[in-house]
Chains A and B, each alone.
Chain A
Amino acid sequence: MERLKKSLFPLSWGAESNLYSGIYLGHKVVIKERIKKPYMNPKLAEKLIRERTLAEAKILWEANSLGVKAPLPLKIDPERGVIIMSYIEGELLRDMIYREGFSLKVKNIMEEMGRSIAILHNSHIIHGDLTTSNVIYQYQTKNLYLIDFGLSFHSKRSEDKATDIRVLERAVESTHPEYKNELMSSFLSSYFEKVNERDLIWESLEDIRLRGRYIKERQA
């Protein structure tokens, strides 16, 4: 690991982790190293790192086995919060929307994303941080990849599935306010076509939308 680190190229800093690119066993990889939060009680920080690293690696594997494209975990070290995973070439959906607006391609990608999330939800996998920065479009293969499962978890509760959707809705509202309706309706139409227990999830989604503080429709 230490030897590997020396040849690493820093990709980005995030709130959760630092990402580096490198070569591992001949593959181009992303090395994700969770940061120990300096502002937390050390034991709490370590516990969160361990739990989140294990959950992420397990879910990355599951997503791939369900046919949802996501990085493949190649090696994990839960104590140090490290996952080595396959590198995904392509463009962030966020940047594509900044560049193209609500183009036909963007519409298709939102629909594809809706189907992918429905597949995950049908296997009770919650992504936990759905944003347009966590989707990569690969031009060569025309494949859509979901990335950053750092906050993902398992749950059968329709409320957690609805929250997943709500997180995306909120991210789209704040990142692409001018296209939020178009983007979300493309996503939601294909998502609800494919997801199980759609009525329950729809109900929960309505409920969660109203739960944020100071929402007009909510009664006091």
Chain B
Amino acid sequence: MPHIDIRNVVKRFETADGGVHAFGPATFTVERGEFVSLVGPSGCGKSTLLLMIAGLLPPSAGEIDVDGRPVLATRTDVGIMFQDNTLVPWRSVRRNIELQLELRGINPKTCRERIDGLLETVGLTDFANRAPFELSGGMQQRAAFCQAMVHDPDTVLLDEPLGKLDAMTRERIRADLQRLWLKTRTTVLLVTHSIEEAVQLSTKVCIITPRPGRLDSVVDIDLPWPRDLTVKRSAAFAGYVSQISDVFHRYGEI
């Protein structure tokens, strides 16, 4: 049984003048421990799909099953991260990570080691007591990542978490992300419009067409780990990138 099973999922938003077809249909599965990227142009509904998987938005048609059970309400076993992070300004980095636990009724004192470990993995140990606004954009996203991971979620949903960062910072955080995933092997769904990012990080890439977004195809990425600079310079890597680019080219997107 797949971890996440998405069947003919469609999302429409009803409006006064009839309604907007936001996404779908899409059918694919995610196995436990996979890193799956949803790649598509802006406005194709890939974030909408992520929200439906989190149970934050009900699909208009089709089914989403997690471990064989349909998603009918907001899932609380996920870790979510958005382009605009969810760090609150009145708490330090550490206290922001603890917020995830406190909201779940978990005493953060019992998770001190786990928080320290996460902070160390992303290189924020020395910034634990700083306020979010004292950190750079890249450091904020690292902190938000710890916040999304601290409760050991079943699935991690990343909605363009690196979208607002500069190219170099993005590159570094991708490496961090990969290291963390290789260590934990948590199931990750990443929404991105960077084809390279998707190929570098994913076990499989779902190609979403321009508006209204449908699932065009799924590409399995068979490259060695860790995918460092050597791998990124390989012919196989370039092959995957151009294979996916060709699809968007066909839609007149690039």
- Same complex for A and B? Answer no
Binding site for B on A (CB under 8 A): none
